């Protein structure tokens, strides 16, 4: 999760300087979706791990 969020912050920083605003918007949308999925996957993984620890 941390790596994905850090990478997306880098994309946001770089997208701000792009001249092709359509491309920048597409990259930001794709990055947001990847970030959302990473957060979902983290929650699933933590639920599994915590469930196994609690047994």
Altogether, the residues listed in the chain come to a count of 55
pTM of the full structure: 0.83
Residue range(s) defining the domain that contains residue 28: 2-53
d(CA 25, CA 35): 15
> Looking at the 3D structure of the chain, how many domains does it have?
1
pLDDT tens for the 55 residues of the chain, in order: 899 999 999 999 999 999 999 999 999 999 999 999 999 999 999 999 999 998 7
d(CA 48, CA 55): 11
């Amino acid at each position: 999760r941390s790596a994905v969020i850090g990478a997306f912050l880098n994309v946001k920083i770089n997208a701000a300087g792009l001249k092709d605003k359509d491309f920048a918007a597409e990259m930001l949308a794709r990055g947001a979706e990847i970030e959302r999925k990473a957060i979902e996957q983290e929650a699933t993984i933590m639920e599994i791990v915590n469930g196994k620890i609690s047994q």
